[in-house]
Structure 1
Amino acid sequence: MQRRVLLMAAAATGAGLLAGCAALPRTVVITEAQLQERLAGQFPQRRRVMSLLDLDIGAPALKLLPEQGRVAARLTVDASERLTRKSATGTVDADSALRFEPSDMSLRLYQVRVARFELADAGGAWPAPVRQAAAVVAEQLLEDQPVWRASSSQADRLRRAGVRDVQVRITAAGIELTLDEGTPR
């Protein structure tokens, strides 16, 4: 009888430990809508470029490009030149690959390409050389920007599970994250 009680207690203790250490799913999908919602909370943003230009950037409209392994975004921009107070409004169309950054458990833009940067003021469109220079600056500003970050509890759970790397794949269903679990620490 006493042996049966001990076996039942041991089984209950083991079940409790297993429940507390439930395995992480190997693959997680972040849908386009979830990513869009997460990004919306980070905008609008204000950026200063070389102490000459202030940019107010609106929340991007996203589109997944699974056949290219990239994410496209259209951003609205209000630009103010600080010396002459000249201002303009426009849009930026860009696309980017994504990479996982383990130091802060985030997804970041990688290999950003600006396809189009249109700016216009009361006098019309800004000259092509200015727009081209602005496109280069936009690529530099967007490169390595986080677009998604694990919550602190998610990040702690990933670290405890020993996740060292995450493979990122863009599919029609969303951004697929495949966890590479190492030895738990």
Structure 2
Amino acid sequence: MLHRRRFLTIATRAMALGGAALLGARGAQAQPSYTVPLAQLQEMVGQKFPRSVPVQGLLDLTVQAPRLRLLPEVNRLGAVMAVDAAGPALRRSHAGSFDVEFALRYEASDRSLRAHQIRLGPLDFPTLKPAVTELINAYGPVLAEQALREVTLHQLRPQDTAVFDGLGLQPGPITVTAKGLTVAFVRQQP
């Protein structure tokens, strides 16, 4: 009898500690979450590049893997992207760059975190004539959308979410923090 009570007491404390850890240090109102560090995001997005984007048969832009940065103050990611311009309208290849910012969304069909709401800064090509750079910048938003649309930054594996799935939770809001992305888990809708 004494062993059974001791076992129940230990089991009860363990469950309470486990529940507290799941809920986090902020108390019962906090949502359980999953964090993806910046290095892991950088590695995943690097696998999706380079990407080629044709411009009206005049030239091709080859966009290299972005160097990601966290922008927690606006809940977005930013990136500096190197780009090469080459093709029939140019005599040689020209290296340039541009900045981009984007929000994130969760895609349930493949459990991925994807770029969306893309904002592009001007493309800069130091070796191109200003008129040509201006022409390329006129197509800039379309080019960025083609190069970055729905780029997968991370894919949740079943083992990453198994505990949450068992509790009837699903990925919800994505928050950019100083350490990476935090995906909150919320109750599944019936």
Q: Give the conservation status (yes or no) of the 8 Å contact 1:72–1:94.
A: yes
Q: Give the conservation status (yes or no) of the 8 Å contact 1:119–1:131.
A: no
TM-score with structure 2 length normalisation? 0.69
Unaligned 5+ residue runs, structure 2? 1-17, 23-31
Among 109, 125, 129, which residue is 1:103 paired with? 109
**Secondary structure of the structure 2 residue equivalent to 1:118:** coil
Aligned residues between the structures: 164
Unaligned 5+ residue runs, structure 1? 1-21
128 and 44 in structure 1: CA distance in 2 versus 1, 3 angstrom threshold: closer
120 and 171 in structure 1: CA distance in 2 versus 1, 3 angstrom threshold: same
- Which segments of structure 1 move beyond 6 Å, counting only runs of 4 or more? none
TM-score with structure 1 length normalisation? 0.70
Q: Quote the Cα distance in structure 1 between the aligned partners of 2:123 and 2:107.
A: 28
Tell me the equivalent position of 1:129: 134
1:72 aligns with 2:81: no
174 and 105 in structure 1: CA distance in 2 versus 1, 3 angstrom threshold: same
Q: Give the conservation status (yes or no) of the 8 Å contact 2:123–2:133.
A: no
Tell me the equivalent position of 1:56: 62
Q: Quote the Cα distance in structure 2 between the aligned partners of 1:81 and 1:127.
A: 13
The CA deviation at 1:65 is: 0.7
126 and 58 in structure 1: CA distance in 2 versus 1, 3 angstrom threshold: farther
Q: Quote the Cα distance in structure 1 between the aligned partners of 2:91 and 2:50.
A: 21
Q: Quote the Cα distance in structure 1 between the aligned partners of 2:179 and 2:90.
A: 47
Structure holding more strand per residue: 1
| Identity percentage of aligned residues | 30
158 and 149 in structure 1: CA distance in 2 versus 1, 3 angstrom threshold: farther
Q: Deviations over 1:5-60 (max 9, x none)?
A: xxxxxxxxxxxxxxxxx99x620111112211222222223333455432222111
125 and 90 in structure 1: CA distance in 2 versus 1, 3 angstrom threshold: farther
